[in-house]
Amino acid sequence: MSLTARILVGLVLGLVSGIVISLSSSDTLNSIPLFIEPVGALWVNAIRMTVVPLIVSLLITAIAGDKENGSVANLGTKTVGLFALMVGAICVYTALAAPPLAGLASVRSRDRRCFESAKRNGGYNVRGAAAFS
């Protein structure tokens, strides 16, 4: 089996086992993510520690190695424009997708009353609210 196939099988098995664990009512199974979460956080932080400096050094090297004078300004203009375009697209997508997705979330009646009380009183103090179910 190729490395790509093994990676995909591992991803699918991880997804399926995560779904099974989250749907189970066993306290033992539901405690497994508490032990695995620190390892995952370390993994993601290690990737960030290595990838971010590599990307920044690549950008600095590319800009410093460019011989044309106006190309840095041109690159900056394109980058800012693309960033603004992407932020705008994400805002529109979020505005369209968030309300239907928020309607799918189930909120306990006690929490709903707490949120409605905070809304009526003009504050957002929701200390009495429990986690979403």
CA distance linking residue 69 with residue 77, whole number of Å:
14
What is the value of pTM for the model shown?
A: 0.40
User: Per-residue pLDDT tens for 18-36?
Assistant: 888 888 888 888 888 888 8
Q: What is the pLDDT of residue 128?
A: 53
Q: Compute the mean pLDDT over every residue in the chain, rounded to the nearest whole number.
A: 83
CA distance linking residue 116 with residue 90, whole number of Å:
29
CA distance linking residue 38 with residue 46, whole number of Å:
12
Residue 59 CB neighbours (<10 A): 12
Query: How would residue 109 be classed by pLDDT, with cut points 50, 70 and 90?
Result: confident
Q: What is the pLDDT of residue 125?
A: 54
What are 91's two structure tokens? 């805002």
Q: What is the pLDDT of residue 85?
A: 96
What are 55's two structure tokens? 């990307």
User: Per-residue pLDDT tens for 62-104?
Assistant: 777 777 666 767 777 888 889 999 999 999 999 999 888 887 8
User: In the chain, where are the structural domains located?
Assistant: 72-133
Q: What is the pLDDT of residue 119?
A: 74
